[in-house]
Amino acid sequence: MLNPILAFFRRVLAGLSRAFGLVFARIGWPFMAARGWYGRRNWTIRGTVIGLLAILFGFYGYFFYQTQVWTDFDPDFVDSYRFSERTVPAGQTLTTPAPASADAPAGAVTPPRQCQSSAIVDVAADLTNRNVNSNAWISSMLLYRLGFFGVDWDHTPFFDNKASFQRGVNQALRRTTVELVDSLARVRGTSAIDTNLQDARNNLQFDEYSWYFGLTPFGPKTPTPSYYRAAINSMKKFNVDLAACVTTFDSRADNLVQFVDRIANDLGSTTAILRERSENHNGGWFDTRADDRFWFAYGQLYGYYAVLSAAGADFSQVIRERNLGPLWTDTLGQFKAALRIQPSIISNGREDGMIMPTHLSTMGFYMLRVRSNLVEVRSVLDR
């Protein structure tokens, strides 16, 4: 009885062996052909080929290194700002020049008036700096754009996590700069738009995937990171002007209401994306798009956690007057709880599955908790 079964398995193994042999032969044939061609060339051509291969391997080595090493990644980096020590809201006077005294010597210089700079702008500039200076901006790298044998890296299970995280942070920064231009850095929407913030907003809206443009009548275009670096400089210039009381930051309650509402809507949109992926693509560890969905959401939470921590300092007077302190602290705590989820491999399993976890549903749950707190903050401010 055992002999027919053993014979069957031998035939199956022999068939599999032949199949694998054919696959490896097809894969290895180009390399064998290249080896034969290379062996018949002189050393001038061989040296050129070796040099080109060295350059190619160098590019890929740099690419792999940049995608795997996350510099300055720290969910608790907000603590280093010591926002709790700021006692004056953004745009308010820090020091007022004393009136001239009769006993003051002739020609004495009156110190200039100083105002509180914006913590939101500081954080936005620092987050952008981490994206493009502390780390390479992955999404517009040439090898990232070329993909994996023509397949977009976002459709593969590897080398796209950092890029997705950076795009999530950038999404939070784009929303923040839009609100800074439209309402936060204007007096009731009637004053002129600050040109530095407008430049920062426009530069951060630049396509995150663009590698380069060809020559134009206006000169060569520069890659995406240079636009984001220009945004950093513009934000820093705005804060210098704000500290000198040259420009304004309107830290009113209705501005905070609108800012919180826009952030809640942005997070709600990402939650819908997570839900759609979780419900319709239960591939477990084999869902190749689950990782970029997860890390985009993570990056967005990372960015908004820093921005809202800064908003607590910029709108400190409003938060005190509306007794929002405990609720605001709890909201930031919900962000920190979500940022503690850092799985090595992202799985998009079924919610009632027994083996493969469902990281997308977990992240979506935490995002909904954060959004719920933001909606409650908005309702308290509206009273």
Segment 19-49, tens digit of pLDDT: 666 655 565 556 555 555 555 656 677 667 6
Q: 252-286: per-residue pLDDT in tens?
A: 999 999 999 999 999 999 999 999 988 888 777 78
User: Rounded to an integer, what distance in angstroms lies between the CA atom of residue 122 and that of residue 279?
Assistant: 39
Burial of 88 (0-12, 13-18, 19+ CB in 10 A): middle
Q: What is the pLDDT of residue 110?
A: 57
Helix (H) or strand (E) holding 115: strand 114-115
154-160's contacts with Cβ under 8 Å and 24+ in sequence apart are 154/289, 154/292, 155/288, 155/289, 156/288, 157/286, 157/288, 157/291, 159/63, 159/64, 159/67, 159/68, 160/67, 160/291, 160/292
Backbone angles phi, psi at 251, to 5 degrees: -90, 60
Report pLDDT digits (tens) over 351-365. Answer: 766 678 888 899 999
Does residue 380 carry a pLDDT above 50? yes
Residue 314 corresponds to which amino acid?
Answer: D
Average pLDDT for 220-243: 89
In the structure encoding, which two tokens stand for residue 194, read together?
A: 């600050």
What are phi and psi for residue 38, nearest 5 degrees? -65, -35
Does the pLDDT value for residue 5 go beyond 50? Answer: yes
Q: What is the pLDDT of residue 294?
A: 94
Indicate the Cα dihedral angle 352, 353, 359, 360, nearest 10°: -60
Distance CA 276, CA 288 (A): 15
Residue 20, classified by CB atoms within 10 Å of its CB into exposed (0-12), middle (13-18) or buried (19+), is: exposed
Span 68-111, pLDDT tens digits: 999 999 989 999 999 988 889 998 988 655 554 555 565 545 56
Name the packing angle between helices 161-179 and 119-129 (round to 10°). Answer: 150
- Contacts with 256 (C-beta within 8 Å, 6 or more apart), sequence order: 311, 315, 318, 381
C-beta of residue 245 within 8 angstroms of C-beta of residue 114: yes
- Per DSSP, 342 falls in state -
Confidence band, pLDDT 50/70/90 cuts, at residue 217: very low
pLDDT of residue 3: 64
Cβ within 8 Å of residue 94, ≥6 positions away: 88, 114, 115, 116
HEC letters along 253-278: HHHHHHHHHHHHHHHHHHHHHHHHHH
Integer angstrom CA distances of residue 187 from 175, 190, 249, 251, 252:
19, 6, 8, 9, 9
SS3 content of the chain, % helix, strand, coil (to 5): 65, 5, 30
Give residue 153's pLDDT.
77
pLDDT at 287: 80
Q: 358 and 335 in contact (C-beta within 8 Å)? A: no
Q: State how far the Cα of 75 lies from the Cα of 73, in Å rounded to an integer.
A: 7
Q: Spell out the residues 6+ positions from residue 255 whose beta carbon is closer than 8 angstroms to its own.
A: 183, 184, 315
Structure tokens at 24: 């490896």
Q: Cβ atoms within 10 A of the Cβ of 220, count?
A: 9
The three-state secondary structure class of 349 is coil
Domain ranges of the chain: 2-40, 86-91+113-382
How many angstroms separate the CA atoms of 194 and 142, rounded? 35
For residues 157 and 288, the answer to whether their CB atoms sit within 8 Å is yes
Quick one: pLDDT at residue 382? 86
- CA–CA dist 350, 360 (Å, integer): 10
- Which has more pLDDT, 349 or 262? 262
pTM over 0.75? The answer is yes
> What value does the mean pLDDT take over residues 318-332?
94
Q: pLDDT over 70 for what percent of the chain?
A: 79
pLDDT of residue 24: 58
pLDDT given for residue 25 in this prediction: 59
Q: Which pLDDT belongs to residue 50?
A: 72
Backbone angles phi, psi at 237, to 5 degrees: -65, -40
Quick check: 164 and 299 in contact, CB under 8 A?
yes
> What residues contact residue 270 under an 8 Å CB cut-off, 6+ apart?
296, 297, 300, 367
pLDDT at 125 over 80: yes
